[in-house]
Amino acid sequence: MMPNLQRRAPFAVDALVLHVARTANRALSAKAISQRLAASGEPVAPMQIYRSLHRLQCEGKVRRIECLNAFCCDHGGELVVFCSDCHAFVCLEDEELRASLADMSGHLGYQLNRSIIEIAGTCPDCAGRTR
């Protein structure tokens, strides 16, 4: 039996997707967001989720973690450290790093527009479970 995928206004889908991202405390794929919404009784068509994630990215409310192809709330900063196991994440802002990247780019004749720095590791919780 197919779930009832009612048509919702974009702002309503954005609110649902953002709520899932905020309460997850980890990066989620679009599919995982869809599954969580369906489990909560709010099924949303996959294309609506992708469109919503795009809008929320443009508004600076979510960010895509490229290495995971997953999304999380955007807490600012150009650096994301994430756990490869559970997808917990921390966003960091580092002015020295930003200046260093701009200098390196400048020495090559480039003007830095944007940088994406993602560091994969194992969070303390997951590291504790493997000991």
Single-letter residue type at 37: L
Give the pLDDT of residue 110: 96
**Residue 4 binned pLDDT confidence (cut-offs 50, 70, 90):** low
Q: What is the CATH number of domain 10-129?
A: 1.10.10.10
Give the pLDDT of residue 1: 42
15-43 pLDDT per residue, tens? 999 999 999 989 999 999 999 999 999 99
60 contacts 99 by C-beta, under 8 angstroms: no
- Indicate if the alpha-carbon torsion angle 124, 85, 31, 66 is positive or negative: positive
Tell me how far apart the alpha carbons of residues 55 and 38 are, in angstroms, rounded to a whole number: 21
104-117 pLDDT per residue, tens? 999 999 998 888 89
Q: What tokens were used for 16?
A: 């649902």
71-97 pLDDT per residue, tens? 999 888 889 999 999 999 999 988 898
